[in-house]
Amino acid sequence: FLIYLLIEFLSVYYFFYKTLKQNRLKLLYFFLILFTCLFIFSLLYWSKSNSLITQGINSVFITVFVFVSTFLWFKDVFGDLEIPVLWRNPKFQFIAGFLLYYSSTLFLYISSNFIFENKNLIFSDYWFLNILATFIFRMILILATWNQLRK
């Protein structure tokens, strides 16, 4: 599952690398170096008993990266006022999907080890939130891609 997180981060990183303005590249490089260090650290200390913790740490970092990059994108868009109707912009639709998915699953990934080890809680009930968030996220991405292809 750590390879999935690596691919996930690289995909989101590439999207924001192509989306954000050139003056934001130093911050993106900083996040890339920080994630690389965190990922290597996670690989070194990964074991079956703490796999959910290492995945949670990486997921929280990706969420923070998405929040910061989204904030910078909104700052650039509202600073330039270049997009007349925000909802019709495919980049906004992708970013809205990222925000919805990562904000709805943040708590789940942070507490997944606790939920899994606690015998009074049923892990599958909480994991349904992840399935629902993933479904909504993919639907938004499909609609954004379709909108992009239509233009």
Residue 62 has pLDDT above 90, yes or no: yes
Q: How far apart are CA 110 and CA 26, in angstroms?
A: 28
State the pLDDT confidence band at 78, using cuts at 50, 70 and 90.
confident
Could you read off the pLDDT of 95-132 as tens digits, one per residue? 999 999 998 888 777 776 677 677 666 767 777 887 88
DSSP assignment letter at 23 = G
pLDDT-derived band at 89 (thresholds 50, 70, 90) equals: confident
What residues contact 106, with CB distance under 8 A and at least 6 apart? Answer: 59, 60, 63
